[in-house]
Amino acid sequence: MIAFLILLLLICGAYCIVVTRSMIRAIIGIELLIKAVTLLIIAAGNMTGRTATAQSLAITIIIIEVVVAATAAGIALWVFKRTGTLDVRNLRNLKG
């Protein structure tokens, strides 16, 4: 069951990133992917009897997740201020 849940979250997150045109929704897809990885680490820790190590790794992932989400939301807002839209297709016109 846990394998199905992890796969479901991975597929939902990857599909969201590939298909969406909204920057906020792309960040939500990244969040779903990170949640799948967190769940995978906790499940692996539970199966091997090393829950303490898995918990410490999961806490590290969660902290990095919140920083990634906040910084990405800030970048999305910055793009919105510059272009007036959250459409990722506008980023194709960037230099570099």
Binding residues for another protein, rule: CB under 8 A, are: 1-5, 7-9, 11-13, 15-16, 19, 22, 24-25, 27-29, 31-32, 35, 38-39, 42-43, 45-56, 58-60, 62-71, 73-78, 80, 84, 86
Nearer to another protein, 3 or 93 (CB): 3
Asked if 54 contacts 42 with a C-beta cutoff of 8 angstroms, the reply is: yes
Give the nearest distance from C-beta 71 to another protein in angstroms: 5
Q: List helix spans (H) across 1-95.
A: 2-19, 23-48, 51-83
Three-class SS state of 40: helix
